[in-house]
Amino acid sequence: MSDARKQFAWARLDRRGCPYPGVLGVGGIMSDTTGRPSSGGSGLFWSRPRVLNALSLMTFAVLVFAQYRWWHDHGRPFSWVLLPATPLLAFVPSGIIVKSLRKRWTAGWAEENGFVYRRVSDWPVPAWDFPPFTIGRARRFRVRDTMQGTVGGYPASFFHLTWLHNNRINVSTHYRNVFSITLPAALPRLTVGVTLDGSIGDRVEFESADFNDQFSVYSSNPAFAHAVLTPRTIGKLVDLAGQHGGAVTLTKFEIVGDLLVGITTLGNRPHEIGGVFEAMRVIADGIPRFVWNDYGTPAQRTHA
């Protein structure tokens, strides 16, 4: 990305530090990160992935044994509701550990990579026209743990989104980690990742079988999708998927106007945050110049 194009991307930010359209965020000096591996924040032994996986397996084994003993002695399980939920309940202890450390990990990554971090922020919920922001039964959206900086020269932001989902039977809590980088100009909509939004278009296939197996691309204009995702970009994304696993393959990347947005249930650990931002940098850097000329348009920004 040329210096002139990077400066143009910076100019698209609101004077008060707006990290995405319609939202006034925090200001501050923003340093640059190139997606290098991050080591901060995940050094506790009992928070390492292998330890948490082992804890989940042990919890699952204990729950199965307890169900078996109860059924053997009483002729029935604890509850017909809890029985099929046992595999999910096995992740509760490890989930509690991750939740308790998430803020520390996010703050540590921000400090290490020159981002401005705020645990409590006044950022409004962005008015984006795609899930989870358009879920009809979602209530009480909250934006927490925000940070701003740059990734590969692009203005970047991150926040932790929570909401309550009312399905008329019970109310459950949900969350997503939301990443965004500002592009030099607005482009047609394109999604890389699993989505249930049928308004985007059909799935687009690429020549790389490895890429098609790990990523799902949706667009109403297949020619545009192939222009954006060049063979070089596809190769780099496949390599990143091998390095970061689900942090990249389970994230939905979406071009919305002049933003590239990443939404995922992962992105809690430092290496996951870095992996998602690096994938976004790869996508943005890989967009050829003719795409900006043929498809790019000035972004229409509205402010809250």
Structural contact between residues 228 and 269, judged by C-beta atoms closer than 8 angstroms: no
Digit-by-digit pLDDT tens for the chain (304 residues) are 444 444 444 444 443 345 554 343 333 333 455 444 444 444 555 556 676 667 678 877 877 888 877 887 787 777 776 777 777 766 666 666 666 677 888 899 999 999 999 988 888 988 888 888 887 777 788 898 999 999 999 999 999 998 887 766 666 778 899 999 999 999 999 999 877 777 788 899 999 999 999 999 999 999 999 999 999 999 999 999 999 888 899 999 999 999 999 999 888 888 899 999 999 999 999 999 999 999 998 865 433 3
In angstroms, rounded to a whole number, what is the distance separating the alpha carbons of residues 295 and 68? Answer: 61
Across the chain, which distance is largest between two alpha carbons, in Å? 74
Structural contact between residues 41 and 108, judged by C-beta atoms closer than 8 angstroms: yes
Omega before 132 within 30 of 0, i.e. cis: yes
In angstroms, rounded to a whole number, what is the distance separating the alpha carbons of residues 118 and 209? Answer: 41
Q: Which residue has the tokens 């099929």?
A: 84
Structural contact between residues 97 and 52, judged by C-beta atoms closer than 8 angstroms: yes
Q: How far is CA 295 from CA 12, 35, 46, 256, 275, in A?
A: 18, 27, 49, 13, 28
- Tally of CB atoms within 10 A around 188: 17
DSSP 46: G
Res 25: pLDDT: 36
Helices 82-89, 49-74: axis angle to 10 degrees equals 160
Question: Are β-strands 32-33 and 138-151 bridged in parallel, bridged antiparallel, or unpaired?
Answer: parallel
Omega before 131 within 30 of 0, i.e. cis: no
In angstroms, rounded to a whole number, what is the distance separating the alpha carbons of residues 39 and 269? Answer: 10
CB-based contacts of 46, cutoff 8 Å, min separation 6? 52, 97
DSSP 45: G
Three-state DSSP state, 292 = helix
In angstroms, rounded to a whole number, what is the distance separating the alpha carbons of residues 17 and 110? Answer: 17
Amino acid in the structure at residue 133: F
Res 127: pLDDT: 85
pTM above 0.85, yes or no: no
- Tally of CB atoms within 10 A around 108: 20
Q: Which residue has the tokens 């990077």?
A: 6
Res 241: pLDDT: 93
Q: H helices of the chain, where?
A: 3-11, 49-74, 82-89, 92-112, 209-214, 222-228, 231-244, 246-249, 270-285, 289-295
